[in-house]
Structure 1
């Protein structure tokens, strides 16, 4: 079986994302939000997904795709019989009038590199997940596509009739294309595109320059951080798990999920990564997202919400071919109905720096201490309630060790907040919850094997329990810590150094692929127990599972090294950043943890 990788680059500006294939086609782009219908969705259906490409008249002989260094600006170079040309794709993002300019606008610069190749430009957007084909008409300098929610306009200096008729065009000078949603580009095309390109380049390079990272695999950290940044929907502060839907965890598995939503759990890990590299703006925006959700939640949080905080994410199956024929294609996610009680602790752990970190002016947070107390009270109330766990089992409810670990971590975070504000009420409740959750965690301990199992009364092991090492639950007992790790290794580690989430059968059978963030958790756990050489070796081995641009998928087939699952997956890039941070701290401070 050949190795499967995703042949896409990702661009975005915290308003939208686009996946650009190595052949220049925009294979996936949802407008106007991450969780809207695609207007280009060839990734899931080459007939109904529309197309936006600049392909040569003949065959592509060679393609080279890369990012402008330390940016989210993507370059695709195409070699064909008539010569070579370059397509530069980006979503404008820069500071303007004391705020970020991040329009729903895709800009494409096309320039000849060798000779005058003939290219065929296609722009055929679609709506309502491929069910709506907009009509189009040519104006003086643009093509309008009518029938979508808002006007979609392609402004270009390519001959419009050649685009509409899909005829080849001789590329003998630089050309520009601006695809817009709603408000069109009314400014001069070429100079505006060049100005936006320069400003966007400077913005991203400034953002990277302000990161605080060591020299340990800095290039890979930079790429992961840049990818993570454009997973935040800046308007509300939500952070999505991935920008795609229904890319299968394994071929034919039926494990095809819509990840274009904000999971409380994923957001916690992403914000930890941003904190580790010295970026905090994302956390402040997320705080506002949580506050707005808490008003509507009536003290019961769902595992996930839409990017605008909507709670109902009804799961539907679309009549599309699916990625490489893998169906079903799902929109929405049934997990919003699940009981996943770890979310409460994750919210508290996520927000803690806003209260206790001296770099934040935290007086403005003091009026939200009631939110901290209410969430802590909810954890106590739910202590005896089984849940679906972080892997979102659809027909299995247990007393998950991981859930209790985050009850414990959330209470620890609340206690730090209480100490900061001298709040005895929160402190008393936090102490109580720490004790209760510790008792539940200890009830998951298998004395025969010396390992904490997936749930109370279960013999199954779970990679999420690597977190017990990383979060310091076992720090007072180093030998127990090492034994716990050894047992998890024996059961869940593949020969290739990858990690399965668990091995037991679930609603869809036994898992076929490994989960990449679990392997990065393993790296962190190795680092914590002092096996630093193994941690570095494992980390560097994991880097080979990226695609040609250093982008990571959700899942990896251990035998073939194939990428599967939604892509790029925020979780996986978070794993890379946090593992690199942990190793670099250990290298700099041998006694760390």
Structure 2
């Protein structure tokens, strides 16, 4: 089987995201929100997905493509070379500071420049609505085309003759052209000068943002790209951070493990905030804190494993009548995991909110009664201490007493004890201490003398990569014999010869997993660094970064045998894993940090 990679570039401005192919086609773009219907979605259906491309007029004659980012930005360039000449398409979502706030409109700008010769190009722009079920009506105006039928107007403003765009007729590119696509508020300013100003300002914004990150010299280029990708997965309006920009890209071909990841998973809160903390970006942390704190005020009976980017609790799963990526069905929107019981979320929230109360950099946590939130989370840990759950991998038909859940009961209680101490609340401190010890006793019930390691759940014979966190989070002393034996057992059972890690090897609701999970592989690297196997950690990290696409972007899953990328893309949590693993190694190497 040939190696499969996602030959796509990511653009975004913290209000929307887009994926652009190496042929200039916009394969995925949802408006007006990350979790809205696509307006361009050929990634999931070549017919119903609409089109937005600036291709060579004669694609049958063949062409070469070179796609890259402007250094230290989320501005994407695609250079196309044909027999007649070459041209460059520069794609970006404007983002910069204006009037003491960030300007991040629902505006997608494409600049088309002549490089050499007399290339002939053909522009197609056919947005759709309701996941391809709604063709939009077109209205020609003096200098723009309006696409009507959605809640707000989509408008294409361009200096390309509108007839060429409407008829999708070829034309010779002999001067720089601009295309500005907007949702809602249109561009009401000079086209060329505004597009150029927005481009300069956006480049400056991203380069300044990168300069303000604390990143060591250890594989700095890849860490910067991961940080940039992670940044634009935050929906700045609410602070939510989504798992991935796409839905229904299969974890393995034919697996039917096709899920919608355009939501915010509470279970990953700790890792995301750790990543932003590790690169010294507190603005993103604060926004995410506020999102979580807002959700905490709405919770009645239990925290859900995930929420919508606006804090929506109901994410009803539906299947759409679409072709699917490379024919992989079903295509799903929504995610039924919102109904699951995942009890690690209470500890996740406590660990995530800890810095608000103990980190001196956060002066105003904007919470009138921090004790109320902490007590509520601790009481939920207490109430669920002996309740089986779906676990972090969201088994749909299997409830167990998961080691990972108890680890976060332990870690959350540990965090709450620190806050209680800083608040002088002895009652809370006593409760948190008791729950820590109760969680510890449950974790120890997961220990298997046969394996010399901790299994995934009480009474289970199976090992699970999530238990690497026992070492990473300090439950096990990384210098201890038990930590080393636990790691060796996980290596023996879950690691491939290529150094990739499976989440687990036992069958679940959909059979036995076929592909490895990248964030588990990065957890492994972190664990190696924790236990002092630094040379191994560096070697395995350097293997993992070979699994990016041509732009340094990571998927969710990797086929160990072929090196193929699978799963939703780009996967924010894979990039989180890379950032945290690089930080852990760099800290151990004690290399200088560039700020």
TM-score norm. by structure 1 comes to 0.98
Partner of residue 27, structure 1: 27
- Deviation, structure 1 residue 413: 1.0
2:346 to 344, 347, 364: 344
Shift of 1:370: 1.2
CA contact (8 A) 2:478 2:530 kept: no
- Secondary structure at the residue paired with 1:509? coil
Deviation per CA, 1:369-394, whole angstroms, max 9, x where unpaired?
A: 31112111111111011000000000
State the distance in 1 between where 2:381 and 2:530 align: 28
Residues 69-84 of structure 1 mapped to structure 2, 5 A cutoff: 69-84=71-86
Which residue of 1 is the match for residue 572 of structure 2? 570
Query: Paired residue for 1:390?
Result: 392
CA distance in 2, matches of 1:95, 1:16: 17
Shift of 1:148: 1.2
Q: Distance in 1 between matches of 2:465 and 2:39?
A: 38
Q: Distance in 1 between matches of 2:104 and 2:403?
A: 42
> Paired residue for 1:101?
103
The 5 A counterparts of 1:241-260 are: 241-260=243-262
Alignment pair present for 1:272 and 2:293: no
What CA deviation, in whole Å up to 9, does each residue of 1:138-193 have, x standing for no partner?
10000000111210000000010110001001110001011000110001011101
8 Å Cα contact 2:344/2:408 also seen in 1: yes
Equivalent residues of 1:526, 1:532 under 8 A apart = yes
Q: Which residue of 1 aligns with 2:201?
A: 199
- SS of the equivalent of 1:129 reads helix
1:5 paired to 2:12: no
Match of 2:54 in 1: 54
Structure 2 counterpart of 1:16 = 16
Q: Distance in 1 between matches of 2:429 and 2:142?
A: 68
Match of 1:240 in 2: 242
- How much has 1:99 moved relative to structure 2? 0.7
- Checking the alignment, whether the CA contact within 8 Å between 1:245 and 1:260 is kept in structure 2 is yes
| Equivalent residue runs for 1:215-230 within 5 Å | 215-230=217-232
* Aligned residue-pair number: 590
What stretches of structure 1 of length at least 5 have no aligned partner? Answer: none
TM-aligned CA distance change 1:47 to 1:415, over 3 Å: same
Larger deviation, residues 82-91 vs 295-304: 295-304
Q: C-alpha separation between the residues in 2 aligned to 1:570 and 1:371?
A: 28
Q: Secondary structure at the match of 1:387?
A: coil
Give the one of 373, 390, 410 matched to 2:412. Answer: 410
Superposition deviation, residue 12 in structure 1: 0.4
Aligned equivalents of 2:427, 2:239: Cα separation in 1: 30
Query: Partner of 2:125 in structure 1?
Result: 123
Q: How many Å separate the matches in 2 of 1:415 and 1:341?
A: 19
Determine if contact 1:517/1:572 at 8 Å carries over to the other structure.
yes
Residue 471 of structure 1 is matched in structure 2 by: 473
The answer as to whether partners of 1:241 and 1:569 remain within 8 angstroms in 2 is: yes
Residues 110, 178 of structure 1: CA spacing in aligned structure 2 closer, same or farther, 3 A cutoff?
same
Whole-angstrom distance in 1 between the partners of 2:425 and 2:301: 21
Please state whether the residue corresponding to 2:332 is helix, strand or coil: strand
Distance in structure 2 (CA, Å) of the matches to 1:242 and 1:346: 20
Q: Is the 8 A contact 2:401 2:457 kept in 1?
A: yes
Matched with 2:326 is 324
Q: 1:354·1:365 contact (CA, 8 Å) conserved in 2?
A: no
Q: 1:363 to 1:203 in 2, by over 3 A?
A: closer
The change in CA–CA distance for 1:386 and 1:135 in structure 2 (over 3 A counts) is same
- Kindly state the Cα deviation for residue 208 of structure 1 after the two structures are TM-superposed: 0.6
* Structure 2 CA distance for aligned equivalents of residues 461 and 193 of structure 1: 54
Post-superposition CA distance 1:408-467 (Å, at most 9, x none): 111111111112222222211110110110011000000122100000000000000001
Whole-angstrom CA distance in 2 between matches of 1:113 and 1:418: 63
Q: Which residue of 2 aligns with 1:294?
A: 296
Alpha-carbon shift at residue 366 of structure 1 (Å): 5.8
For the pair 1:440 / 2:442, whether they are aligned, the reply is: yes
8 Å CA contact retained: 1:45, 1:323: yes
- Please name the residue that 1:211 is paired with: 213
Cα distance in 1 for partners of 2:479, 2:525 equals: 20
Using the alignment, how far apart are the partners of 1:7 and 1:426 within structure 2?
Answer: 52
Aligned partners of 1:452 and 1:484 also within 8 Å:
yes
For residue 359 of structure 1, the aligned residue among 342, 358, 361 is: 361
Deviation at 1:230, TM superposition (A): 0.5
Give, in whole Å, the separation in 2 of the partners of 1:192 and 1:268: 40
Change (3 A) 1:254 1:148: same
Runs ≥4 residues deviating over 3 A: 362-366
Measured in 2, the distance between the counterparts of 1:43 and 1:49 equals: 7
RMSD: 1.2
Partner Cα distance (1:281, 1:122) in 2 = 39
Shift of 1:363: 6.5
Q: Specify whether residues 183 and 362 from structure 1 end up closer, same or farther in structure 2 by C-alpha distance, changes over 3 A only.
A: closer
- Which runs of no fewer than 5 residues in structure 2 stay unpaired? none
CA distance in 1, matches of 2:8, 2:479: 45
